[in-house]
Structure 1
Amino acid sequence: MTFSIVARCAQSGQLGVAISSSSPAVAARCARARADVGAVSSQNVTNPELGKIMLDRMAAGEGAADAVAAARDGDDHPDYRQLLAIDARGATSVHSGPKALGIWASAEGRDCAAGGNMLAGDGIPAKMVAAFEAADGPFGDRLIAAMKAGLKAGGEAGPVHSAGLLIVDRQSWPYADLRVDWLDEGCPITALSDLWARYRPQADDYVTRALNPGAAPSYGVPGDD
C-alpha cells in the first residue's frame, strides 16, 4: 500500500526519504533518516522498529546491506516486510518479503533505491530511480520528481491519500520533515510538492535560527520586528 524512495545527495551529503500511500500518515510510520548515517523506509505491514534497527546498525559502521539483513533477520515476520536503506556512502539495499501485498517491486540506482507494494505495475520503482537520477536542482526537488514519476507511471493500484518528505543534513534534527497525512480529495503528492516549494526557500534560515538566532532573517509576521 506504499511506494517510496530513499536517496543521498552526493554534493551536499543530505539523506532523505519520500513516500506515499493509500493509508493515512504513512511517513509517520515508515520514513526514518539520520544525518551522516542513512535513510530508510520500513513499509508493507509496517514494523516501525525496523527503521530504527537499520539506522542503528549503520551508525555503528555497517553498510546498507548488512543493516537491512540485520533488521530482516531479527524480525519475527520478515516475509511481510519491505525494507529500503541507503547509507552515507550511497550504497543501497532492499528487502521485499514474499508476502508483500499485491504487485511489489524495487529498483536501485546511483545514490537511490525505490520500492513499493500494491503497485499498478512492477516497473514503477525503476521509473522513480530514473527520474531521481535525471532531475536537477535541490535534493528535495529530486525526491519529489521521483514521486511524481512513480505516480505518473501508475503509482498504487488504488488512490493514494498521504505522502511525506524527510531530509536530514548535518544536524541531529530534520532539515525538512513535511507530511500530508490524509486527503479525501486531490493528490497528496501534489500537495507535498506545493508544501516543499513553500518551505524550500526558508529551510536554510530555519537552521540559522537554531544555530545563530541573531543572524536569522525576519519573515515580517506580526510581532517579528
Structure 2
Amino acid sequence: MQPTLAVIDIDIFSGKDELVREGLLENLACCTGEFITPLWVNWLRERADLRVVCLVHDLTRFDDFLLDVIRTVPGVRGTAAQLIFDGVVHGDVVMDLRLQNSVWNPRAAATVFVKSQPGQDREAYDALIRLPKHQEVDVVWVVKLFHSNEADLMLVLLGERTAALTGYVMSWVRTIPGVVDTQLTSILDWQIFGQAEDFIELARRFPEPTPTGHRPAA
C-alpha cells in the first residue's frame, strides 16, 4: 500500500510555545513505529503554531498517532490534519530540505494555499506543476487538497529570501488562469526527522510528470 502524506497543524495555548515544541520533538523522536514516518516539524511565523509533516503507511493507525504522540503534549490546544493522496514532489528540491536543519545556511521557505475556480481545477493544477525554473525560488511540491475546506492546492517554496517568495507568488502563481486566491505562510525553525531514504520514498510516491505529460507508472 502506498503511503499517504499528512500535514498536521498544531494550535498552541498562548505562553506554552516552548513547552509544546520540546514535548512534541521528544515524542516524535521516540516515534519508531512502522505505520508512520515523521519527516519534519516547522514553526509557522504568522500563527505561532507548529506543523508536522509525515508519511502515513497505515491510515487505520493515524488517529492513534494524533492522540498518543501529538495531542498528549501539554499546551496543545487542538490539531487539524490534511491528508494528501495526489500531487507532485520535485525530488531534487525535496532532498535539499535536509539542509534546512543547518543554522548556517537555511533558505527562506513558505507554504502557499491556493483556491482554484471550480471547473478549472485541472487546468490550474497542471499549470502549477509546470511552473518554469526560477533563479531564486524552487518549488518543493504541488499537492491536491480538494477534500479540504481550507484550500484546493498547496505549494511549498524555497528561496534565497522571503521577498523572492512573495514576488514569485504574485508573478507566477496568482496570474495562472483558474487561481482564485492564495495565502502565503512563512516557515521557520526546521527540525528534520526524515532520513535520505524517506525523502526518496516521498518523491517516488508523488512523481514528477514526464515530458509527455503522463505520470510514471507506480
When normalised by structure 1's length, the TM-score is: 0.28
Structure richer in strand, relative to its length: 2
Decide which structure has greater helix share.
Answer: 1
Larger RCO (alpha carbons 8 Å, 6+ apart): 2
